[in-house]
Structure 1
């Protein structure tokens, strides 16, 4: 693919991208892909290798000098939302640098500056509010016996797909999601992903873009609604779509090159996960009450896992107590509970648990205040720019 990007290679965005990819390359080289992020790297998937090459680094001090120089250039960056994002990105990269160089910033610092998320647990009143919504929805379905966690488990287990139905249901949902994404967001052409069942992994699902696979942890049970959410999250209109959309916009000269960093384990993670977690709503794909129940259940689990990670890594709760909290307040399946504990304890990935909640709230709040007539404008702003939660919140629909 030949790029037609019109942004000069000396631009701020090109420099920021080259530095970020240079950090990624240096960390992989130094640690032989066995460091904090294993083979994943700082930027797990990068489609801009033929546009912007990584800077070459041999020590972390030169990287820090380059980031400081970029910081000095911030006042000249326009528009304002791009400057807000860039400041957050530089701050995030500096924390990544400290981690790669062997430092150990506190969990609070990592959540605030590496991830760009709100520190602390999610307010208990918010969690109780989500539980109240689920209580109402389940009562409407006639599920009234037992406490809320028991009723959530009853609804979920009664709707689990038989193992032989997972793959055909996945294929059906993939086709629907691709069509809706083409209509409302971006036409990904004939791109698709195959299902890759896995076991004993810390995640529920994963976008293995380069292999054309959506990895799925089949130690968990899945309802049609939960599988729909995962297709939207990982593929259409989530991670895979964002990768294809951003590359296409850069090729057309309609986006700054830093959007090619959309998968970076930095402040970009919040909105990447926010787009993915809000994917069903972005497609207006709520079909029935089961979808509504799952949406609220997903929000509850996102909030509870955010609090759980904070309780364990910042407040010092024992893992067993955190596991009990996850089971009691989120009614999580055991593989999910254990996966959350493993992720929370990871020195780099742990704080990114908060990116799901922070990002989904950020995307949903702007989407819900955007009139239907301005939704295409919002979609363009959302996907065509690199964002922190704060820069995304700056969106204002133009009044005709």
Structure 2
């Protein structure tokens, strides 16, 4: 009688419930924010902004009640075990990067001293290195060509940039009406190309003596603007796109709606988190004008390139300041020479870089912009709806965003 050959017993890994994991990740992250605020009482490594500056999901996913950082590590261990069961791909890449980021944040909240390199790589999810001098040199050369087309042909490049900005600077009385006009058009384009934003708008809130250029104050319905700086129309357009439409405010509206409807995993509610997600959030903001296909003239083209130069310079300067121990005077000189930034902006970048927790996120503007730009530039017209869903409807790290279409 012929022996019956038994089939080898197959062992199947249990499938991962991604919706459940998304809720668990969200509850943990917001719980970490609450725990850090409670334990530090405003004197920890984070300022009042918190780990999750804006969270719109209290009624959807409440924060996990955590007693201490040991409980956080246990939750992270569990999430890492679940993530290991995901197939290779976008979701697994993001979860791995996000959990590494939250683990790094936890170590900082516990009081561990980490190097600037460890914060860049672990917390922000970007390379711990300056932007190459060759890359900056190439961008300077491109800027010189654009400024020559704009009629600025004489003197050092730094002087040409100063003249370009001074000649086009908006008067104080022009800021608000220009802001409102730009926001109206940005919203129209966002509704058509990205997502319908309804009746949401922002007002302009002028500030002085702050380390940032502009800020999305979503819950107050205002865009904070540092009026110690001068702004061209092109610069103000960039900020409207970055902070309002189609940038931070739009991402908040989109993720809240999609999480509430169940169309997206709950962790999209973490879009403002000071973790690897923040890098892509800033990339969406900095790519705002291009996402809306809104480059109108040479001034817009000059500002887009000037913005890239300043992001690159600030990223490098932060590394030199915090990674290599340059003095603030030396960093100031470097930024004057490479970024052509206004004095309050340079002083703000140096101040920003020195913050223990938030400082490394200065690199998120350069690396986030490049990550989103590189994907956007290869997207076809037919892929556009899929790309928008991918960009806004999922949380990403700089690594995972690059896997679009794979």
Task: Please report the TM-score for the alignment, with normalisation by the length of structure 1.
Answer: 0.96
1:152 to 2:161 alignment: yes
1:234 to 2:243 alignment: yes
Q: CA RMSD in A?
A: 1.4
Number of residue-to-residue matches in the alignment: 391
Deviation at 1:77? 3.2
1:206 aligns with 215
1:104 to 2:113 alignment: yes
Distance 2:223 2:365 in 1: 19
**Which of 16, 21, 44 is the aligned partner of 1:35?**
44
1:185 to 2:185 alignment: no
Whether the 8 Å CA contact 1:275–1:360 is kept in 2: the answer is yes
2:306 aligns with 297
Deviation at 1:33? 3.3
1:327 aligns with 336
Query: Which whole-Å deviations, capped at 9, do the CAs of 1:364-390 have from their partners, x for residues lacking one?
Result: 000001112211111110000000011
Distance 2:165 2:222 in 1: 26
1:3 aligns with none
Whether the 8 Å CA contact 2:60–2:260 is kept in 1: the answer is no
**Which of 82, 95, 102 is the aligned partner of 1:93?**
102
Q: Helix, strand or coil: the match of 1:373?
A: coil
Query: Which whole-Å deviations, capped at 9, do the CAs of 1:147-176 have from their partners, x for residues lacking one?
Result: 111111110111000110000000000100
| Larger CA Rg, structure 1 vs 2 | 2
2:326 aligns with 317
1:286 aligns with 295
Whether the 8 Å CA contact 1:33–1:41 is kept in 2: the answer is no
Distance 1:79 1:20 in 2: 24
TM alignment of 1:76-91, pairs within 5 A: 76-77=85-86, 80-91=89-100
Deviation at 1:135? 0.4
Q: Helix, strand or coil: the match of 2:206?
A: strand
Deviation at 1:79? 7.4
Q: Helix, strand or coil: the match of 2:377?
A: helix
Whether the 8 Å CA contact 2:18–2:265 is kept in 1: the answer is no
Deviation at 1:34? 3.8
Distance 2:34 2:374 in 1: 36
Distance 2:133 2:388 in 1: 32
Uncovered stretches (5+) of structure 1, i.e. residues with no partner: 1-6
**Which of 374, 378, 384 is the aligned partner of 1:375?**
384
1:248 to 2:268 alignment: no
1:162 aligns with 171
Deviation at 1:9? 10
Which runs of structure 1 show a deviation greater than 6 angstroms over 4 or more consecutive aligned residues?
Answer: 7-10
Distance 2:141 2:278 in 1: 29
Deviation at 1:89? 0.5
Distance 1:37 1:158 in 2: 39
Q: Helix, strand or coil: the match of 1:216?
A: strand
Query: Which whole-Å deviations, capped at 9, do the CAs of 1:327-355 have from their partners, x for residues lacking one?
Result: 11111001100000000011111100100
Task: Please report the TM-score for the alignment, with normalisation by the length of structure 2.
Answer: 0.94
Distance 1:145 1:284 in 2: 32
Query: Which whole-Å deviations, capped at 9, do the CAs of 1:294-353 have from their partners, x for residues lacking one?
Result: 000000000000000000001111000101111111110011000000000111111001
2:123 aligns with 114
1:16 aligns with 25
2:150 aligns with 141
1:356 to 2:365 alignment: yes
Distance 1:21 1:187 in 2: 27
